[in-house]
Amino acid sequence: MITSTRLAQWLRVVIYITALVPLIIFSQYISPFHFGKVVVFRSIVELMFVGYLLLIWRDRSYLPKPNPLFWSFFAFVLAFTITSATSIIPYLSFWGTLERMGGLFTFWHYFIYFVILTAVFRTREQWLTLIKTMSWVAVASALYGFGQKTDISFFIGSGGRERIFGTIGNAALFSGYELVMVFLALTFLFRKETTLGGKWLFGTTAALGTLAILMATVRGSLLGMGVGFFILSGFLFVKFRVRLARVAFVGLVTLAALFFMTIITPIKEIPFVRDSRFLSRLTDTSFETYTAKTRFWAWKAGLQGFVESPKTILLGWGPETFNIPFSHHFNPRFFQGPGSETFFDRAHNMFVEVLVTMGLLGLAAYVSIFVVALRRLWQAIREPGPDQIYGIGFTALLVAYAIHNSFIFDTSANFLVFFTVLGFLSHAFYISKRPVAEPKTAQAPSKLFVSAAILCVAAVAVLIYQFNVQPAKANYATTRAIIRGWQSDFAGAITKYGEALSYNVPGKYEYRHRFAQHVLEYFASHEVTEEGEAVIKEAIAETQKNVDENKPDYLPELYVSRLYITLGKKDPASPYNDEALKHSLRALEISPTFIRTHYEIGQAYLNKKDYKKALEYFARAAELNPDVALSHWYVGAIELEHGNIQKGLASIDAAIAKGYGLAETDYLYLVGPLLKIGNYERLTWLYEQLTKVAPAKAQYWAPLAVAYARIGRIDNAIAAARKAAEIDPSFLPEAKAFVEQLGREF
């Protein structure tokens, strides 16, 4: 018989299972460390939701128990919902991105989880079992991270990794997860009621978690952990006179002093510190490092977007849309050349992220969670009693986590443990203070109840299949396409991309772009046949859907532009080049300072043989960030094509001076212009470089001999001629004649 007691027991068991979610890795999927966690978590919560609805039908005592923490969390969920409805791209705000698996749909699952958690966990013993389970999971994740320092292939990310990321997939996110678990474990470690076995577990969790955070070497997390330890040890000594806490407090003060000495004195330049990757990273607090600068640039771009209009100030741009204001105010210094990180879909600061994407409404709601919790914890610290240790431990936890979140953002595993902690605080300080209602006498379920239960189970099965199973199938099909691409099976990859896109599920934005990227990479080194043209047009049709569904986003426009450029590269009069310009110019309207867009426009004009317009856009790219060598190379190449040899060579020199690495084809490209102006000094250098790049090619040694002769380096000319004949005997007669003309014997 379905009773409220059994339903509550079942829900508690499922929540214990949910605690294992941080260990989930879908290794054969895109975003393997996030995707699997989220689809499994959502499926579990959807099943629990049905069970919970049936539970409160049978027993109203399990209805939510609103309290200040409940309302602060609900306020944030409500702000999330409102700002998703007013988002610049509502679909993206609702579903989130494939990589992070956020969005309103997923976030409501965290709140439902919180409601069910606080409703069915009624005793400290039940909470203790859950927290012990979470501790074991944190230990396992830390041990997995330690395995990444080895060469054991079982550990994804192994191979002597410098910075570990455990089962979370990112060093900073992993540190945030372990940070919460360290302080949660320490709180229960110092609880008087904790048994010896519990102390061993919590002590191990805290020790291994601390070591894992150190090995991840995320400075924001280390700062948060240090401040958290300072708060925890200080209060433990003052309130409980714990000797170990006094030692820890003094040790932390000493370490802090040494750390600041290391920063402000030449100590950090001594070989021991400088040669240690850990110590050198830890003591590098300069705001001039590239990583630090990119964070500030991203925050600045986001804040510039925040003040764009009254709407963005109050409601933001919409959850999951940080990349839109970021692109509007893109700092050209992000672009350092091919491979540069120029796409920020997160602010790498949770407070800035919420402010920019949800406005003042969202930030006020988010901060209220911390404010409400810390106020109640401060009361617990001031009032002697069994809750005092919770006040101390969780104050350290929240402060440490807030500092950590000032340099990164939250994802699934972090949200799960954080909202579980919030649930425990809600129980400990509010719900447990109320009298517990007596369980109702078990009665046979009515036919209406049974029918409703069957309908709910059927509905949730459909929901899980449509929004968790189908996206998983699409994701897996995409990775099969990627693998076939690696195996040079172009047709097979196209088939798999078609299968992935046929599901038409959240994530299709990324799948379409991966399809387009695969097509572009293939035709960068293959001729466009009639069949190939059909495939490119198919990719254009799919990517155009991203353009239509994401109007404020520049990236789909650039993908479509590049595909049209591929179609039009052989015919200057091709209408495809005009289509490419239409899309790249639209991308430029969205993000005027994005350097790659200028490259795309310039390439389209090169296809059209309009060198003047091409030069205009490549020159603008060079002006936006003069430190990018590639921009100067493009400007130089176009000047040479346009016949402006001296200007072209000057730009080429600027590119080389800024670190542009010339390939064999680049050297050969410069031969003609240098011959045209008779610059044999430069030709000599050029052929010397070619003989270094390809020392076994006689066709480079022979012209090098001529160049040497032209500038009067006769001995070098003879040596080069002999080398050419040695490599390729067919050069022997010509080499002999050449040497004899110089008045020497071969």
Chain centroid to Cα 574, Å, comes to 38
Mean pLDDT check: name the lowest of 78-82, 106-110, 242-246.
242-246
DSSP symbols for 426-446:
HHHHTGGGSPPPPPPPP-PPP
Look up residue 206 and give its two tokens. Answer: 């805290």
CA distance 108 to 373: 21
Mean pLDDT in residue range 666-691: 88
CA distance 396 to 390: 10
With tokens 């569904």, the residue in question is: 549
CA distance 656 to 674: 16
Q: What is the pLDDT of residues 402-439, one digit of tens each?
A: 999 998 888 999 999 999 999 999 999 988 766 665 55
Q: CA dihedral defined by 9, 11, 15, 18, rounded to 10 degrees?
A: 130
Please report, rounded to a whole number, the percentage of residues in the chain having pLDDT higher than 70: 91
Burial class (CB in 10 A: 0-12, 13-18, 19+), 290: exposed
Tell me if residue 122 falls in helix, strand or coil.
Answer: coil
* CB within 8 Å of 624: residues ≥ 6 apart: 332, 593, 595, 598
Residue 339 has what pLDDT?
Answer: 67
Look up residue 67 and give its two tokens. Answer: 């309290």
Q: CA dihedral defined by 138, 141, 147, 152, rounded to 10 degrees?
A: 150
pLDDT above 60 (res 281): no
Mean pLDDT in residue range 364-392: 93
Q: What is the pLDDT of residues 557-602, one digit of tens each?
A: 999 999 999 999 989 999 999 999 999 999 999 999 999 999 999 9
CA distance 471 to 483: 19
Tell me if residue 550 falls in helix, strand or coil.
Answer: coil
C-alpha neighbours within 13 Å on the C-beta side of residue 121: 28
Mean pLDDT in residue range 59-80: 95
Residue 533 has what pLDDT?
Answer: 94
Residue 44's nearest CA partner among 28, 27, 21 is: 21
Residue 698's nearest CA partner among 734, 661, 745, 665 is: 734
Residue 566 has what pLDDT?
Answer: 96
Please report, rounded to a whole number, the percentage of residues in the chain having pLDDT higher than 90: 66
Look up residue 21 and give its two tokens. Answer: 């979610």
Residue 590 has what pLDDT?
Answer: 96
Q: What is the pLDDT of residues 254-269, one digit of tens each?
A: 766 666 655 555 555 5
Q: Phi/psi at 167 (nearest 5 deg)?
A: -95, 10
Q: What is the pLDDT of residues 1-24, one digit of tens each?
A: 577 889 999 999 999 999 999 999
Identity of the amino acid at 425? L
Q: What's the Cα-to-Cα distance from 426 to each of 367, 374, 432, 433, 652, rounded to whole Å?
A: 17, 12, 8, 10, 65
Look up residue 105 and give its two tokens. Answer: 């749909």
CA-based angle 482:483:488, to the nearest 5?
95
Residue 674 has what pLDDT?
Answer: 86
Mean pLDDT in residue range 634-638: 91
Residue 445 has what pLDDT?
Answer: 73
Q: What is the pLDDT of residues 283-326, one digit of tens each?
A: 555 555 667 788 889 999 999 999 999 999 999 999 999 999 99
Q: What is the DSSP letter of 242?
A: -
CA distance 646 to 403: 55
Inter-residue contact 181 to 145 (CB < 8 Å): no
CA distance 117 to 113: 6
Q: What is the DSSP letter of 24?
A: -
Give Dmax over CA atoms of the chain in angstroms: 117
CA distance 606 to 628: 20
Inter-residue contact 364 to 72 (CB < 8 Å): no
Q: What is the mean pLDDT of the chain?
A: 90
Burial class (CB in 10 A: 0-12, 13-18, 19+), 740: exposed
pTM above 0.85, yes or no: yes
pLDDT above 70 (res 487): yes
Q: What is the DSSP letter of 62?
A: G
Q: What's the Cα-to-Cα distance from 193 to each of 180, 196, 199, 425, rounded to whole Å?
A: 21, 10, 10, 17
Residue 239 has what pLDDT?
Answer: 73
Look up residue 144 and give its two tokens. Answer: 């997995």
Look up residue 684 and give its two tokens. Answer: 């000599």
* CB within 8 Å of 30: residues ≥ 6 apart: 98, 99, 475, 478, 479, 507, 510, 514
* CB within 8 Å of 135: residues ≥ 6 apart: 181, 184, 185, 201, 202, 205
pLDDT above 90 (res 742): no
Q: What's the Cα-to-Cα distance from 687 to each of 641, 666, 707, 728, rounded to whole Å?
A: 21, 12, 8, 17
Query: Which of the two residues, 398 and 723, has the higher pLDDT score?
Result: 398
Query: Which of the two residues, 441 and 351, has the higher pLDDT score?
Result: 351
